[in-house]
Amino acid sequence: MSRRPSWLPAPPPAGARTRRPVLPQNPGGLGLASDRARASMIESLRRIGVRDAQVLDALSQVPRHAFIDAALASRAYEDVALPIGHGQTISKPSTVARMIELVAQSLPPSRRAAAQVLEIGTGCGYQAAVLARVFGQVVSVERVRGLHEQARNNLRAMRLANLRLVFGDGHLGVAQAAPFDAIVMAAAGEAIPDALLEQMRVGARLIAPIGTTRQALHLVERVEREQWQVTVLDAVRFVPLRTGTS
Ligand code: SAH
């Protein structure tokens, strides 16, 4: 069964190399149809319990199809992780929504515009774009040079002046931009790196998948200068947090 929605242009001829959906002559048409696909994704997110209006609004504004390969664009608004090259994946929209909602909960909407947020694992840049539509300042770190550059290209058209992309090992955090009001990890380690715990502001939240073969989301809150409270949440499946850069 073909799942290619009517708003997508025809696939490129065999042998042609394109990374982006080829825009048709009436890009407004593509825009309207992808807006509809995104609106139905938002409805599904509401149905599974995502409530935060700013998070839903941000997800409704970021064109997920612009962050993945043209060959996969027809699946952009399904709730699935998709390959983005270099053995990595773009996270499922429901996971992106859940993680951002969990860290945002400690920040009332009025404080979000002044919040400083760190993402570890930029990948294609999708979640970074959503974060930048919810919070005041976002820094996102990626350890694979090719993905860091791919994210930069994907994000250019969105002109998010409050989003900074950093190439490096996320284990170290970004000391120059700390302390953070929220930290979101998009790759699973065996433990939360100490530098990230230290770069949380008191009262800040960090959300991270932890584990190897079995993983679970861990929500960490820095309740006092020397005290972090951890809550173990849903079982998840993320790519591994690796050391160093490549
Ligand atoms: N945030 C992405 C998900 C990317 S997948 C989204 O919007 O869907 C996770 C990413 O984490 C991969 O790109 C991987 O290269 C990166 N990663 C793994 N270990 C890392 C580390 N130590 N520092 C920074 N990025 C890392």
Q: Tell me: the pLDDT tens digits for 24-82?
A: 333 444 567 788 999 999 999 999 999 999 999 999 999 999 999 999 999 999 999 99
The dihedral sign for the CA sequence 127, 129, 131, 133: negative
With H, G, I as helix, E, B as strand and everything else as coil, classify residue 187: coil
Ligand 1: residue whose CA is nearest its atom 23: 170
Structure confidence by residue, pLDDT tens digits, 210-232: 999 999 999 999 999 999 999 99
More confident position, 12 or 60? 60
Taking the centre of ligand 1 as the mean of its atom positions, its distance from the CA of residue 142, in whole angstroms, is 6
Is the model's pLDDT at 86 over the cut of 70? yes
CB 188 within 8 A of CB 238: yes
Domains of the chain, residue spans: 86-236
The pLDDT of residue 5 is: 40
Write out the H or E segment, with its range, that includes residue 200: strand 200-211
Query: Which residue type does 243 have?
Result: T
Buried b or exposed e, range 115-136, using 16+ CB within 10 angstroms = bbbbbbbbbbbbbbbbbbbbbe
Residue 127 phi, psi dihedral angles, 5° rounding: -65, -35
Please give the number of the atom of ligand 1 that sits closest to the Cα of 91. Answer: 8
Question: 86-236: which CATH architecture?
Answer: 3-Layer(aba) Sandwich (3.40)
pLDDT score of 35: 87
Ligand 1 atom 16: the closest Cα is on which residue?
121
Length of the chain: 246
Work out the mean pLDDT of the chain and round it to a whole number.
90
What per-residue confidence (pLDDT) applies to 30?
56
Residue 33's pLDDT is what? 79
DSSP state of 211: E
**Average pLDDT in the 8-36 region?**
51
91 in active site: yes
Q: In testing the pocket of ligand 1, which one of 69, 72, 239, 243 has its CB within 8 Å of the most ligand atoms?
A: 239
Report the alpha-carbon distance of residue 205 to residue 207 in Å, rounded.
Answer: 7
The predicted-structure confidence for 180-215, as pLDDT tens digits, reads as follows 999 999 999 999 999 999 999 999 999 999 999 999
- How many Cα atoms within 13 Å fall on the side-chain side of residue 214? 4
